[in-house]
Structure 1
């Protein structure tokens, strides 16, 4: 029965996402799924989509990114590594500073405060936080609020300003995926999931699905033009699975932290906007592309937003994956330094 309720929820989320997209709401599929998830989590009931359901949705988005990926991306990436390094250091320092603020402004222990503000992949940070002695429930609540805030603000606020967001062209509305396209997606999703189980690392399934989508469509088979709503379905699923994490217990835990949680989230937003300005100055990219590439809101969520807004999704996904992996490499050293005596 629980599976039936979950499928019903996802169906409603996709219907809302499809409606939003049809009326031209920026990132309509993603926002429709996200808002439906928030509503369900707060007023109806919450579901757990961690594990393979979220990974399958992420792989679906990754394949769409791989299909539109161009071979000169790797040459482009070399031009952005130095600006990315600078902004990555600033993002890490921002997370550390906000963790110190959260530690001083609240009665949270330092471990929990630190993991609440680490700008890494939310799922991975939440998963390992308990191993370091942090309160996983508080960490999950804080990261859920942070990602929900960014995914809501960026498409609504900036997407409206830039006037972008409707993925689906009217001519695509009647297109039906071919048997070849359905088989292509099914094989890559399954292959990416299995490979990620064998060789797992932060953002692994996103990397695998992008790579397989690119290699398969470029060198193996010509799958033709994929209808835009196929990508939209992946975005809607991710939005729904992220949004439903923002349920009543999340609000209760954030309220228990007090006004300090709002201050830290607000500072996170302001610092992220400022760091994006620096990346914009250091590169020829637009400000919106710079923001999507540097904001610490999760590789999956920002890659989906980039696809929805049609703004350099392969570049955005690649830079976020580099960011997440880099953070997890230095995380043990940062934690050891932060946990030293304040003296």
Structure 2
């Protein structure tokens, strides 16, 4: 099994690197994601939960942290009100779409609701099991939703906001790898240890961004080559893509067309939500979309990093969104159970 995983990861990264070489938007992420979907559908699903996925999150988070500066903390508060508005609408939409799933399918109310909780997929799936929902259906729906979003949004973002490489990126003027790699290893290790000690939603991503920022800002000025973050994005894409396997497809078929309809509604809602955030902030529309779309903090932060669209801000807003969601989740459950009566 371990050799199959290693070979798969190598091939997925080659696919991601090739997409990036061709100039495809968010090529590392999309190339490995598509490769993973193909392998998952024609071969089999390989498990990459737990430590491997946490390492990939931390790798991307560390690269984002190295880019962060203190200015973000002085401007972040200006986005809190727009975030509160869009977050309230996102929670309301989750309730509405969960109710529609319940009415349109044979799913029980809790399973339908957890399918539409707009939070971190892995956290939602584990919590759904605790509340007695069918976590297999929940996992299948979230996998399909995130896969669809990660396929469509980076490509659309890249069309409207193409990446312009700087001279440093082209010529490879970066921090010495002999210095960078040990620091990268230490930051990733610390992030994973912290996430195990104090577990929070998107913890590995959040801790690595914060530690990377502290190291780069106060200890050693760092600038990592784009392929370092690209490899992290490729790992995330590979581990997400392989989840969309034959079993996932079969479970989605059991739900039927309503599941496709709800995913499309989620997407249209996200476009409208981004417009509201865009009107309330000075951010470009595509950055607003990446900041508000309920499609995973790591995935959207990776996309923002690849397209140079405020990755530190995007990741910060997503982490806040996911943490607030889990704080209000018990209240949302009470509401959905009352609706079902």
Instruction: Name the TM-score class by shorter chain.
Output: over 0.9
Measure, in 2, the Cα distance between the counterparts of 1:253 and 1:45.
15
| Contact kept? 1:14, 1:29, Cα under 8 Å | yes
- Equivalent residue for 1:170? 170
What is the RMSD computed on CA atoms of the aligned residues?
1.6
| Contact kept? 2:62, 2:209, Cα under 8 Å | yes
Measure, in 1, the Cα distance between the counterparts of 2:328 and 2:288.
23
Q: CA deviation at 1:323?
A: 0.2
Spell out the pairing of 1:1-343 with structure 2 (5 A cutoff): 2-164=1-163, 169-172=169-172, 178-223=177-222, 225-340=223-338, 342=340
Measure, in 1, the Cα distance between the counterparts of 2:176 and 2:8.
24
| Contact kept? 1:21, 1:166, Cα under 8 Å | no
Instruction: Give the unaligned 5+ runs of structure 2.
Output: none
Q: 1:188-239 deviations in whole A, cap 9, x for unaligned? A: 111111111111111111111001101011111233x311101100000000
Instruction: Give the unaligned 5+ runs of structure 1.
Output: none
| Contact kept? 1:41, 1:247, Cα under 8 Å | yes
Q: CA deviation at 1:166?
A: 7.0
Provide the aligned length of Structure 1 versus Structure 2: 340
TM-score when normalising by structure 2: 0.97
Q: CA deviation at 1:157?
A: 2.1
Q: 1:69-94 deviations in whole A, cap 9, x for unaligned? A: 01110111100000000000000111
| Contact kept? 1:25, 1:165, Cα under 8 Å | no
Measure, in 1, the Cα distance between the counterparts of 2:176 and 2:215.
17
Matched position secondary structure for 1:169? helix
Measure, in 2, the Cα distance between the counterparts of 1:157 and 1:311.
13
Matched position secondary structure for 2:239? helix
Q: 1:285-332 deviations in whole A, cap 9, x for unaligned? A: 000000000000010111111111110000000000000000000001
Structure 1 stretches of 4+ moved >6 Å: 165-168
Q: 1:168-201 deviations in whole A, cap 9, x for unaligned? A: 93323x9795221110000011111111111111
Distance 1:189 1:91, change over 3 A: same
Measure, in 2, the Cα distance between the counterparts of 1:101 and 1:76.
38
Measure, in 1, the Cα distance between the counterparts of 2:150 and 2:232.
15
